[in-house]
Amino acid sequence: MKKLYLIVVALLFVSMVGAAQARQKVLLIFSYHPEYVWVIEEARGVEDVFKDKGITIEKFYLDTKRNTTIEWKEEVAEDAVKKIEEFDPDLVMVFDDNACELVAKKYIGKTLPFVFAGMNDEPENYGFPAENITGVIERHLLRETIELFKRLVPDAKKCVLLADNSPTSQKFMAQIKKTTLPIDISAVYNTNDFDTWKAKLKDVQSTVDVLGLFLYHTIKEKGGNVSLSSDTVLEWTLKNSQIPEFAFSDFTVRDGALCGVVMSGYVQGKTAAKMALTILAGASPANIPIQCPQEGTPMINKRRAEELNIRIPEDVLKEVEIVE
């Protein structure tokens, strides 16, 4: 009996070792830092899809919103390649444009499969899709956002767009120029200098009746090397503006902006993770088309509406998520 027991234990141990060895490994490389809300949501989308699928995940952060110098990007890109070599994953997922530019492009045509998510630029500008690379692009719902805004402020006609000067914002502004919109975009301002941001905001208070806010995460004090907290920039902006604004990310509306049909990092992560599962099951990335999820959430910040003396119509209240 004792001998039989030892045999059973040994077989169980071998089985467990085999199962552990069979676990597939996926490396997640994020363009930004772990505390960034968009990154948290992207990771949550991936983790929900991978749950109970026998996949080991590790994460690497390029941190290129807080650190924007060329020197930093070159150094951290090398660190990411070293991480890939050390972890030896079965698949790599890269999130947002900087990770595509700094890391994924280096692996075009190699055997290691990649799935990207949150890409604002055109995939062909990175050389994607490739035999080993596919993924998910991010297209903000500008027309839908403006249509929601005009249900709150029907007489709005003239708009200025304000954003930082990050690669993501530059690519977003390029997309806007290709889009016909139900409002006049009179100017687009991109800056990473907080003093310039403040001056631009003050200048437009009497010239436009709509403010479009994109990203504000790479803005620095003059002479600074590290970006300011996004909360600091947005708080100052809303406190010093009486122009109603729309935004494109859920965190901006939750943090105080008036409204938007907003995109979710969660949807980007979830969609990309489902593609990754298909590849891990044996499919070739070359046979999986690039996707563009159109799941936007109409959202209104009630507190901001009250500050601006904007009434939310009853029919709109029934259709949107209200942030108290």
Domain ranges within the chain, ordered by starting residue: 2-138+265-287, 142-262+297-323
Calpha distance 141→294 (Å, rounded): 8
Q: Mention every residue, 6+ apart, whose C-beta is less than 8 A from residue 318.
A: none
Among 16-20, 112-116, 290-294, 314-318, name the one with the lowest average pLDDT: 16-20
- pLDDT tens track for 179-229: 778 888 888 999 999 999 999 999 999 999 999 999 999 999 988 888 999
| Six token digits for residue 22 | 């069979």
Give the C-alpha separation, 126 to 108, whole Å: 9
pTM of the predicted protein model: 0.81
Question: Fold for domain 142-262+297-323?
Answer: Rossmann fold (3.40.50)
**C-alpha–C-alpha distance, residues 279 and 265, integer Å:** 21
**pLDDT tens-digit series, residues 40-51:** 999 999 999 999
pLDDT-derived band at 99 (thresholds 50, 70, 90) equals very high
pLDDT of residue 22: 64
Provide the β-strand partners of residue 115. Answer: 93, 134
- Is the domain spanning 2-138+265-287 CATH 3.40.630.30? The answer is no
* Nearest residue to 288 (alpha-carbon basis) of 108, 93, 125, 114: 114
Looking at residue 223, its pLDDT comes to 82
Amino acid present at 119: M
Whether the Cβ atoms of residue 176 and residue 170 lie closer than 8 Å to each other: no
Residue 67's CB is within 10 A of a number of other CB atoms, namely 17
Which H or E run includes 82? helix 70-87
* 2-138+265-287 and 142-262+297-323 agree in CATH topology: yes
pLDDT tens digits along 304-315? 999 999 999 999
